[in-house]
Amino acid sequence: MGNTEKAASAGLIRKAADLVRRAGRTPITAGDIGAIARKADLVVVFGGDGTMLRAARDVAGSRTPLLGVNIGGLGFLTAVPSSELPEALKRVWNGEFKFESRVLIEAGGRCNGKMIRKTALNDIVVSRGAVSRMIELDVTVDRELVTTYRCDGLIVSSPTGSTAYSLAAGGAIVSPAADVFALTPICPHALSNRSIILPLSSTIRVRARSPLPSTLLSVDGQIVAEMDLNDEVSIRRSRHTIRLVHLADSSFLEALRRKLHWRGAYV
């Protein structure tokens, strides 16, 4: 599957299908991604992290692994750049890869009179809408009050999502193998409000203290609901996971060095 908004996507999909055929395997390039995942041994995803996030939600709970081919920007979820596609597939056929399980998180509750339940790979965000003023959010963890945030929003990220919006908002970088949430406030009024790392077994409840239309609930960057005064969502670990394919010599720390251009100190 690929991001149809990227001009390079269609050509790369055709190229990949040809490489798959030459290797004596059968490509499936049409149909619903969830249905494809049930029939395929591998799903190759062409795009950036947004395309990978959509694919992850669509195949949630499936054992079929995803191989991300980056034709986007930073691409923390994609395993290989598009220029290395032939070599990457050759290494996959030779068994030179590893599987990496990633947890999903989910949000459920009543928002503006409607029940919602959504799954995310990266993060669940409660934030202000178009109105340019702070919102107030009551946050509890396992029924114990954390605080009432006055802020532009709150990011609840999975381990995978620590390198996404949470990182941009000043949150910690977390290994995707760590069983933790990161709670990161966005532009908090109190400078002492910092990112908090919590066990992934926690249940986090976020209650809106601001009336419509100022509070929005987003899942992996997609707005899913408006929250009215006293609307509450519960965020917890999902029972579903996904599997990513990485080449044998890759690692999370290597990706950090390469993608964030860490080069050590300069004198």
**Contacts with 24 (C-beta within 8 Å, 6 or more apart), sequence order:** none
15-24, 28-37, 90-99, range with the lowest pLDDT: 28-37
The residue among 109 and 39 whose pLDDT is bigger is 109
Tokens of 23: 């290797």
Structure confidence at residue 17 (pLDDT): 94
Chain segment 174-183, per-residue pLDDT in tens: 999 999 999 9
Report the predicted TM-score, pTM, of the whole model to 2 decimal places: 0.92
Domains by residue range for the chain, with CATH: 7-95 (3.40.50.10330), 104-239 (2.60.200.30)
HEC assignment per residue over the chain: CECCCCHHHHHHHHHHHHHHHHCCCCCCCCCCHHHHHHHCCCEEEEECHHHHHHHHHHCCCCCCCEEEEECCCCCCCCCEEHHHHHHHHHHHHCCCEEEEEEEEEEEEEEECCEEEEEEECCEEEEEECCCCCCEEEEEEECCEEEEEEEECEEEEECCHHHHCHHHHCCCCCCCCCCCEEEEEEECCCCCCCCCEEEECCCCEEEEECCCCCCEEEEECCEEEEEECCCCEEEEEEEEEEEEEEEECCCCHHHHHHHHCCCCCCCC
**Active-site option among 41, 49, 179, 228:** 49
Active site residue 220: no
Structure confidence at residue 75 (pLDDT): 80
Chain segment 68-87, per-residue pLDDT in tens: 999 877 788 998 999 999 99
> Which phi and psi angles does 91 have, rounded to 5°?
-70, -35
What percentage of residues in the chain have a pLDDT greater than 90?
Answer: 76
Structure confidence at residue 148 (pLDDT): 97
The residue among 6 and 99 whose pLDDT is bigger is 99
**Contacts with 240 (C-beta within 8 Å, 6 or more apart), sequence order:** 60, 61, 104, 119
Average pLDDT over residues 121-127: 97
Residue 267 has pLDDT above 60, yes or no: no
Q: What is the mean pLDDT of the chain?
A: 92
